[in-house]
Structure 1
């Protein structure tokens, strides 16, 4: 059994839905596991169709929602908020046999981690004059949290609430890992995944970004603490649409986004040529070799200097 990973499949785009349909044509992965690290679609029929296709291509599909998945369209805002949307998606996944809770498959623990971002996660200097992130991201209009008093995007309350939903699963996983290690002396392989980022080193510096304040809407301190507690061999994430493969503090961090069609054109690889990344090879009993990705390779060679506020040439242009 092998474990593959992908994020940000955005099957609202016809090319991306065709990508999901194409995956079903191969029998190569029918006994494998796929991690989907968020951002499938905010439209429930599109979401269901996508997950149905993926469950045909893989024996086990794991999912955690991203921000786009929790958008509430105007027609549904009188019925549910984003937490209600989360429950709706989890119900659909249960019907389709998609995992949204931790499970051990083929001897490997795969652990979805719910998360949300907060601006205080960003601890690097700001670029003067950068557009506020609230004016760029639809989340601040399309995500609502009225079902739980006190939740607001103005602080870290949503991040902590979402993280607290992981408590029962984390306790169960840690108990199972401890029990297995007590018997065999070996800790079973563990792969965690989320949509959002636990560490700012997984995001390019602000001067490299067309939207420098992106850093205020991508990461979570509670998520970082939970990953540290679980001590996975690898953690898969998404959201920023930057391919990434790097080791930080003993954990391998991977992002492998399908992304938008325009992004696919820029990288010279259409959706039809994109495959999920192989992260774990059960036959060898180990993680696969790291992949060369532009930004993680850059930071492997060049020291991070967030205090440098000079925009990169492609940003200045």
Structure 2
């Protein structure tokens, strides 16, 4: 029997026809392979369902963590749900497809390099990755608006029934922290989140003001506290492998077509386990 691999991908953005074709091309190497999907499959409910159903039919197990785009209430999406209600509807759709979500028991990877608990996370962001020179969330947001670098989330990602996105983030962090603390202490983990769990990966952003929509300081020690073998994330559209406190961080996004044309070619699937033998990017 072929030994399985754990692969990862994110930021498929299947509304773009070229990206849709890339998603259609994603296939396992064996019947034992798993796939983690770290968010931003698409903006429309039906597009997310199309992609996850396709992948669930090919990989032995698919594990999904939401990105910000899935949570948008897009004006062209017939599914006009907002906030927690939209997230819960996405979870329900995933469960109907056999796709695991942050609300399900964390699966244990039994293949080479295991046993490793694979934990899909949904913790959002709380604006604590402040823009350079800002001392408060309000200052940071003002600087972003003044520079014209404002995430579309401010208009389409609604936190209902929470009063703000950062309040929703704090609630998700508290819930997720409890679940991670309950993982078998003998297990290493693969932490899958749309956003990087630490700020360092955002420091290469062309527009540093955008970092405030890229995570929270509340997760800064999770990769060490919760014994991460690897942290998988997307959102930045800068695919690369880095290390923080000795832990491998893998940015696995496909990104937009225009972005791929300006960087060296790289396959859309990224091997997480067993640890691939390759040089890590700086």
TM-score (norm 1): 0.75
Report the Cα distance in structure 2 between the residues aligned to 1:78 and 1:65, rounded to whole angstroms: 16
Do the aligned partners of residues 63 and 89 (structure 1) sit closer, same or farther apart at CA in structure 2, a change above 3 Å counting?
A: same
Do the aligned partners of residues 227 and 30 (structure 1) sit closer, same or farther apart at CA in structure 2, a change above 3 Å counting?
A: same
CA RMSD, aligned part only?
A: 2.6
Q: 1:152 aligns with which of 161, 164, 167?
A: 164
Q: Secondary structure at the match of 2:31?
A: coil
| 1:196 aligned residue | 195
Report the Cα distance in structure 2 between the residues aligned to 1:235 and 1:111, rounded to whole angstroms: 10
Do the aligned partners of residues 257 and 75 (structure 1) sit closer, same or farther apart at CA in structure 2, a change above 3 Å counting?
A: closer
Report the Cα distance in structure 2 between the residues aligned to 1:5 and 1:191, rounded to whole angstroms: 11
| 2:107 aligned residue | 103
Do the aligned partners of residues 171 and 134 (structure 1) sit closer, same or farther apart at CA in structure 2, a change above 3 Å counting?
A: farther
| 2:214 aligned residue | 218
| 2:243 aligned residue | 247
Report the Cα distance in structure 1 between the residues aligned to 2:40 and 2:279, rounded to whole angstroms: 22
Q: Determine which structure has more spread, i.e. the larger CA radius of gyration.
A: 1
Q: CA deviation at 1:227?
A: 3.6
| 2:8 aligned residue | 5
| 1:275 aligned residue | 268
Q: 1:163 aligns with which of 173, 183, 186?
A: 173
Contact 2:173–2:218 (CA under 8 A) maintained in structure 1: yes
Contact 1:7–1:256 (CA under 8 A) maintained in structure 2: yes
| 1:129-148 alignment, distance < 5 Å | 131-132=144-145, 136-148=150-162
Per-residue Cα deviation, 1:108-131 (whole angstroms, up to 9, x for no partner): 31001111112223374469x964
Q: 2:277 aligns with which of 274, 278, 289?
A: 289
Do the aligned partners of residues 249 and 72 (structure 1) sit closer, same or farther apart at CA in structure 2, a change above 3 Å counting?
A: same
| 1:284 aligned residue | none
Q: CA deviation at 1:248?
A: 0.9
Q: Secondary structure at the match of 1:57?
A: coil
Do the aligned partners of residues 140 and 280 (structure 1) sit closer, same or farther apart at CA in structure 2, a change above 3 Å counting?
A: same
| Structure 1 residue ranges without an equivalent (≥5) | 179-186, 282-286, 298-317
> Which is worse superposed, 231-240 or 216-225?
216-225
Q: CA deviation at 1:76?
A: 7.1
Q: Secondary structure at the match of 1:121?
A: coil
Contact 1:202–1:244 (CA under 8 A) maintained in structure 2: no
1:233 pairs with 2:236: no
| 1:47 aligned residue | 48
Q: Secondary structure at the match of 1:115?
A: coil
Report the Cα distance in structure 1 between the residues aligned to 2:100 and 2:26, rounded to whole angstroms: 19
Do the aligned partners of residues 203 and 19 (structure 1) sit closer, same or farther apart at CA in structure 2, a change above 3 Å counting?
A: same
Report the Cα distance in structure 1 between the residues aligned to 2:249 and 2:14, rounded to whole angstroms: 24
| 2:137 aligned residue | none
Q: CA deviation at 1:204?
A: 2.8
